[in-house]
């Protein structure tokens, strides 16, 4: 495949820090480079505390657990997102209230959230910014959640660096989760960061991620190290990955983020010309990071969109469908709140296109021309 959805961007800096870590022989959690990464990540987002963990799914699980989510609690989750948002709630035995999204940015729809909060009284809401675009109703939803005492976990796995009113996403809820698996805004293979300004919540998160064993520091007596408070998890990031993460965050603002935004702007410019409708809109006062560029086919049926996708793949252009609507996974405990079942339409009519950092104008024109050839010739 020549044009990839998201090709990792690694440099000599990643190698330098990985070698550094190897030379220390310390490969497990709490490595020096991991700590530096956590500090730099915190500084980038403007949130006091960050912990590097092994996946976004694990981070979401920790976030829910730290807020005390358990059996019979309800959690609002957008119906159009990565299945991890749902799996994490399921791991807590919570009931998912799947709420449909709006069409402009594919974020949670405020009007439906309002209905869901009043009717189901959830403990937590997961606010996800999809494909690099800040969710349209973020401010209104945050206000509503404050009023009804609903905790907000923000998921910026797809939108690290995006802003609303110049404030970075990740700062609107009480906990932020950012996956950093290889295809995200920064990538280390498999991993994530969980951040919070709330000291008490953050300490709980640290404890749960480290087996729920409270006496782990050098100062604690050696014979207390195996003591635990109860069920816990082993979720901390190993040092080799923390070393890659350090290099990626150091290169993020000045290099990677700029490249990514540039690719998004090329799509905006060159797809507009031919009336190919990109899936999401940039809204007033928000700045997206264009994690994935996707196209929405209003007038093409599902079958033909699939054929187009297969044709593009055969031309070396990697494509993906939209997210599978979460309400269709029947093995989870969930309730679906919707008006028009819009997430299914988005799933059926969306093609996600190559969005790697290094795509050039000529690459994006090539992709556009292949789409046009198909539309002309086969329809």
Ligand X SMILES: *Cc1c(COP(=O)(O)O)cnc(C)c1O
Residue among 34, 66, 85, 243 that touches ligand X (CB under 6 A): 85
**Based on CB atoms, which residue is closest to ligand X, 14 or 158?**
158
Residue among 35, 167, 181, 307 that touches ligand X (CB under 6 A): 181
Residue among 55, 182, 197, 198 that touches ligand X (CB under 6 A): 55
**Based on CB atoms, which residue is closest to ligand X, 132 or 309?**
132
Find out whether 264 and 288 touch, Cβ atoms under 8 Å: yes
Burial of 138 from C-beta contacts in 10 A (0-12 / 13-18 / 19+): buried
> Residue 361: enclosing H or E segment and its boundaries?
helix 361-378
- The footprint of ligand X on residues 108-127 (CB under 6 A) is none
Residue among 73, 109, 158, 250 that touches ligand X (CB under 6 A): 158
Quote the least distance from Cβ 269 to ligand X, whole Å.
26
Q: Which stretch binds ligand X (CB under 6 A): 36-44, 52-60, 63-71, 108-116?
A: 52-60
Q: Alpha helix locations (H) across 220-360? A: 239-251, 257-272, 302-314, 342-349
Quote the least distance from Cβ 311 to ligand X, whole Å.
27
Q: Could you tell me the CA-to-CA distances from 39 to 51, 234, 245, 249, 250 in Å, in that order?
A: 9, 21, 11, 10, 11
**Based on CB atoms, which residue is closest to ligand X, 55 or 212?**
55
Quote the least distance from Cβ 159 to ligand X, whole Å.
8
Residue among 38, 84, 176, 248 that touches ligand X (CB under 6 A): 84
Q: Is 89 in the site for ligand X (CB under 6 A)?
A: no
Residue among 77, 116, 186, 192 that touches ligand X (CB under 6 A): 192
**Based on CB atoms, which residue is closest to ligand X, 9 or 55?**
55
Residue among 40, 45, 56, 309 that touches ligand X (CB under 6 A): 56
**Based on CB atoms, which residue is closest to ligand X, 181 or 282?**
181
Find out whether 139 and 115 touch, Cβ atoms under 8 Å: no
Distance CA 192, CA 37 (A): 12
Strand-pairing partners, residue 53, are 192, 236
Q: Which stretch binds ligand X (CB under 6 A): 51-59, 98-106, 162-170, 260-268?
A: 51-59
Quote the least distance from Cβ 186 to ligand X, whole Å.
12
Long-range contacts, stretch 16-19, CB < 8 angstroms, 24+ apart:
16/247, 17/243, 17/244, 17/246, 17/247, 18/240, 18/243, 18/244
**Based on CB atoms, which residue is closest to ligand X, 105 or 370?**
105
- The footprint of ligand X on residues 127-146 (CB under 6 A) is 128
Q: Beta strands of 130-252 (E only): which ranges?
A: 151-155, 163-164, 167-168, 175-179, 192-196
Q: Is 179 in the site for ligand X (CB under 6 A)?
A: yes
3-state secondary structure 12-69: HHHHHHHHHHHHHCCCCCCCHHHHHHHHHHHHHHCCCEEEEECCHHHHHHHHHHHCCC
Q: Which residue is nearest to ligand X (CB)?
A: 56
Quote the least distance from Cβ 181 to ligand X, whole Å.
4
Count the Cβ atoms, other than its own, within 10 Å of residue 215. Answer: 14
Quote the least distance from Cβ 30 to ligand X, whole Å.
20
Phi, psi of 233 (to 5 degrees): -135, 160
Q: Please give the residue ranges that form the binding site for ligand X (CB under 6 A).
A: 55-57, 81-82, 84-85, 128, 155, 157-158, 179, 181, 192
């Amino acid at each position: 495949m020549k044009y990839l959805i998201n090709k990792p961007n690694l440099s000599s800096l990643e190698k330098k820090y990985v070698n550094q870590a190897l030379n220390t022989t310390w490969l497990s959690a709490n490595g020096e480079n991991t700590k530096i990464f956590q500090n730099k990540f915190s500084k980038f987002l403007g949130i006091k505390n960050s912990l590097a963990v092994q996946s976004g799914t694990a981070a979401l699980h920790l976030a829910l657990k730290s807020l005390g989510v358990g059996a019979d609690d309800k959690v609002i989750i957008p119906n159009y997102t990565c299945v991890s948002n749902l799996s994490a709630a399921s791991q807590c035995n919570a009931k998912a209230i799947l709420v449909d999204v709006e069409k402009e940015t594919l974020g949670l729809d405020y009007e439906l959230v309002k209905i869901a909060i009043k009717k189901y009284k959830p403990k937590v809401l997961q606010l996800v910014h999809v494909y690099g675009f800040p969710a349209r109703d973020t401010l209104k939803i945050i206000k509503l959640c404050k009023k009804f005492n609903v905790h907000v976990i923000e998921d910026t796995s797809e939108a690290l660096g995006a802003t609303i009113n110049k404030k970075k996403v990740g700062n609107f809820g009480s906990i932020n989760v950012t996956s950093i698996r290889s295809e995200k805004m920064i990538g280390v293979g498999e991993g994530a960061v969980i951040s919070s300004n709330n000291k008490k919540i953050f300490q709980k998160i640290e404890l749960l991620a480290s087996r729920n064993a409270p006496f782990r520091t050098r100062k604690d007596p050696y014979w207390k190290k195996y003591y635990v408070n109860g069920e816990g998890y082993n979720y901390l990031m190993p040092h080799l990955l923390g070393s890659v993460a350090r290099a990626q965050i150091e290169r993020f603002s000045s290099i990677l983020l700029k490249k990514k935004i540039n690719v998004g702007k090329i799509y905006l410019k060159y797809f507009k010309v031919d009336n190919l409708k990109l899936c999401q809109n940039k809204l007033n006062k928000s700045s997206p990071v264009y994690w994935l560029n996707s196209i929405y086919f209003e007038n093409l049926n599902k079958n033909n969109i699939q054929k187009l996708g297969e044709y593009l793949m055969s031309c070396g252009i990697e494509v993906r469908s939209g997210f599978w609507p979460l309400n269709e996974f029947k093995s989870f405990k969930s309730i679906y709140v919707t008006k028009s079942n819009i997430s299914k339409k988005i799933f059926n009519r969306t093609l996600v296109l190559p969005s790697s950092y290094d795509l050039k104008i000529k690459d994006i024109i090539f992709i556009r021309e292949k789409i046009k050839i198909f539309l002309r010739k086969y329809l």
